[in-house]
Amino acid sequence: MGASKSGHRSSPGSPSELAPQLSVDVIHHSPEWEDVVEDSLLVRAAVAACRAGVGKTPEAELALLLAADDEVRALNKKWRGKDEATNVLSFPLDAPQCSKAPRSLGDVAMAFETVKREAGERDIPVSQHAAHLVVHGVLHLLGYTHETDSRARKMEALEVRVLESLELPDPYALDAMTTGEEL
């Protein structure tokens, strides 16, 4: 098993000490992630997605699982009935909330080899693609979907706004440039 790292907690005495906090646990099950993506970027992406998705930073927690394709493939098969690796999976937690603890939003799992391959196909850094997938996954935890064209447009627009706040480019414009599709 890999190391677990936590992110986005305010330090004592900071101005945000009394503000709601989002705790993001980054769990490494694949060492390849450590060489190409900084946990701090993924934590910032998760926090920004939550803030955009609910209009504020919730007092909550979530986990980011950085895994290899085989682990995500097994999760995809078990929970979605699809025997294939995928770039990102979201597992919203629908359990009752304990009144004394932060709400757990759920988990986001990402598959290294798939994310790396997709980034290479788009000619972008793995870290940039991973940040986008964290935003996408966290928005799924918050109930956003892309099952219809109108919902997909709404979710994509929110993703673009979040990524712009992180000074990252619009991934859908990149997709259109690499495929020749119009926006």
Q: What is the pLDDT of residues 91-105, one digit of tens each?
A: 998 755 555 667 889
End-to-end CA distance of the chain: 42
CA distance 85 to 112: 10
* Residue 166 CB contacts under 8 Å (≥ 6 apart), including other chains: 41, 44, 45, 48, 131
Q: To which CATH superfamily is domain 4-179 assigned?
A: Metalloproteases ("zincins"), catalytic domain (3.40.390.30)
- Between 96-105, 132-141, 162-171, the lowest mean confidence (pLDDT) is in 96-105
Do the Cβ atoms of 46 and 138 come closer than 8 Å?
A: yes
pLDDT exceeds cutoff 60 at 125: yes
Ramachandran bin of 107, using left for φ above 0, alpha for ψ from -120 to 50, beta for the remaining angles? beta
**pLDDT confidence tier of residue 129, bands split at 50, 70 and 90:** very high
Parse the chain into domains and list their residue ranges: 4-179
List the structure tokens of 180.
Answer: 């020749």
Position 4 pLDDT exceeds 60: no
